[in-house]
């Protein structure tokens, strides 16, 4: 059934999502149809008592709607929302107990799909974010209001704020959150508890507000998952920067460096206070455990720019390798003056409000694409502005004096 496969073991059916094209799973009509067909087969199997919905991709559960929706007209968007609501209702009405195992980005329609399940377990780590992206289209608005109350739900639906796994537990959005090391154990323990409890009849809940949801979704332009930037492999680099240098006080750059350390990379920062603050914020919000935060702090050093894959700077630049991408950071607008670094072919201007890349006329396209891919992998996909054309300098030919 397309890119949805089902495995069954000891009365538990696992529905694996593995949609190609984007870095993480994303939904469109064809993929929802594949999921609907898989769920119909699961519902007809009398030997399964539990259904687990999870991702087969390491990058995450589901980041929302895919880029190839083809919903140019409001009528098309309304029809898509109606179909999505039917698929989510099939999840909610399965005769088996349903469990969503969440990891990585769980955004927009992906979160709506998880809300249709009876239970939600979340792998709480730095890449796991739960939230909504624009108007709902799978009946998620009514379900989240029923779970957490109207006030908290409306804040999530309108502000675009994302939650860590542990924040989602405290709000009542998910049942249980745990660190990556305990993921398999906690899932198995939860399934064993459900098996011992035995089958219980599901209380039928009448969905309300679906027509209003379709109307709002039809009137708005849907937010989609941006596909990965194709990267010309002139100078291949790792999928993520192994060493990030920080020579700026801009908070967004410090958060990027801290997340690199939390994912296992190294950070070089002569002043580590901003990185430590960002790591502490991730710990306070529940994205990481105290042990993971301490290990990340140990990966922050004061020297080693020569081994950096990426350096954020607002002007200063020490000796770096020739394959290092240099991101000249401005918090609000990229400065008009040309940055006078010796290696301008690997230098890219970065504006963080909004996130925009502005290459120079002689910037290597591979450096631009690599930086865009890295920012996207860290959940900060930028807009890439076209490089200015080089100015042609005309030289006047010397006048010839006739003999």
pLDDT tens-digit series, residues 6-44: 999 888 999 999 987 766 888 999 999 999 999 999 999
One-character DSSP codes across 204-262: P-----HHHHHHHHHHSPPPBPPPPPP---SS---SS-SEEEEE---HHHHHHHHHHHH
Q: Could you give the C-alpha distances from 321 to 25, 241, 257, 274, 284, in angstroms and in order?
A: 35, 13, 18, 24, 35
C-beta neighbour count of 303 within 10 angstroms: 11
For every residue of 253-294, DSSP letters joined together read HHHHHHHHHHTT-EEE-SS-HHHHHHHHHHHHTTSS-HHHHH
Exposed/middle/buried for 378, CB within 10 Å: 0-12, 13-18, 19+? middle
Q: What is the pLDDT of residue 374?
A: 87
The per-residue pLDDT for range 105-125, each reduced to its tens digit, is 999 999 999 999 999 999 988
* Stronger pLDDT, 62 or 234, i.e. the higher one: 62
Tens-place pLDDT, residues 167-214: 999 999 999 999 888 889 999 999 999 988 876 656 666 677 889 999
**Domain covering 4-219: architecture:** Alpha-Beta Complex (3.90)
Question: Does residue 49 sit in helix, strand or coil?
Answer: coil
Q: How many CB atoms lie within 10 A of CB 312?
A: 24
**Choice between 143 and 372, residue whose per-residue pLDDT is larger:** 143
Confidence category of residue 375, pLDDT binned at 50, 70, 90:
confident
CATH domain 243-384 topology: Rossmann fold (3.40.50)
Instruction: Mention every residue, 6+ apart, whose C-beta is less than 8 A from residue 260.
Output: 240, 241, 244, 266, 267, 378
Query: CATH 3.90.226.10 residue ranges in the chain?
Result: 4-219
Q: What is the rounded CA–CA span in Å between residue 174 and residue 103?
A: 12
User: What mean pLDDT do residues 326-347 have?
Assistant: 66
Residues of CATH 3.40.50.720 domain(s) within the chain? 243-384
Distance CA 109, CA 130 (A): 11
Length of the chain: 403
Nearest-CA neighbor of 292 among 57, 101, 105, 124? Answer: 124
Distances (CA, A) of 354 to 116, 311, 327, 333: 34, 20, 15, 9
């Amino acid at each position: 059934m397309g890119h949805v496969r089902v495995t069954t073991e000891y009365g538990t059916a696992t529905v694996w999502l593995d949609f190609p094209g984007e870095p993480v799973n994303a939904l469109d009509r064809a993929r929802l149809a594949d999921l609907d067909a898989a769920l119909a087969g699961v519902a007809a199997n009398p030997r399964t008592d539990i259904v687990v919905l999870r991702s087969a991709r390491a990058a995450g559960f589901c980041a929302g709607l895919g880029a190839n929706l083809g919903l140019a007209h409001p009528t098309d968007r309304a029809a898509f929302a109606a179909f999505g609501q039917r698929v989510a209702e099939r999840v909610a009405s399965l005769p088996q107990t349903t469990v969503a195992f969440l990891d990585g980005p769980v955004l927009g329609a992906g979160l709506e799909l998880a809300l249709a399940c009876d239970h939600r377990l979340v792998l709480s780590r730095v890449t796991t974010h739960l939230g909504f992206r624009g108007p709902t289209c799978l009946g998620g608005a009514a379900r989240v209001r029923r779970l957490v109350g109207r006030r908290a739900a409306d804040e999530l639906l309108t502000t675009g704020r994302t939650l860590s796994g542990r924040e989602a537990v405290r709000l009542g959005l998910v049942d249980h959150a745990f660190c990556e090391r305990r993921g398999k154990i906690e899932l198995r323990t939860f399934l064993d508890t459900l098996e011992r409890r035995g089958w219980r009849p599901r209380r039928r809940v009448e969905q309300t507000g679906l027509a209003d949801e379709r109307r709002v979704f039809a009137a708005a332009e849907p937010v989609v998952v941006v596909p990965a930037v194709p990267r010309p492999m002139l100078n291949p680099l790792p999928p993520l920067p192994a060493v990030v240098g920080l020579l700026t006080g801009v908070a967004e750059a410090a958060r990027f460096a801290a997340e690199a350390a939390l994912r296992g990379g190294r950070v070089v920062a002569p002043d580590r206070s901003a990185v430590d603050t960002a790591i502490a914020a991730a710990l306070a919000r529940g994205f990481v455990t105290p042990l993971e935060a301490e290990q990340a702090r140990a990966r922050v050093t004061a020297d080693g720019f020569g081994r950096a894959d990426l350096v954020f700077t607002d002007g200063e630049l020490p000796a770096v390798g020739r394959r290092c991408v240099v991101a000249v950071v401005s918090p609000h607008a990229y400065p008009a003056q040309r940055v006078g670094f010796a290696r301008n072919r690997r230098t890219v201007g970065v504006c963080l409000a909004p996130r925009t890349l502005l290459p120079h006329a002689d910037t290597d396209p591979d450096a631009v694409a690599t930086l865009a891919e890295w920012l996207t992998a860290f959940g900060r996909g930028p807009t890439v502005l076209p490089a200015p054309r080089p100015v042609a300098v005309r030289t006047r030919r010397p006048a010839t004096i006739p003999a």
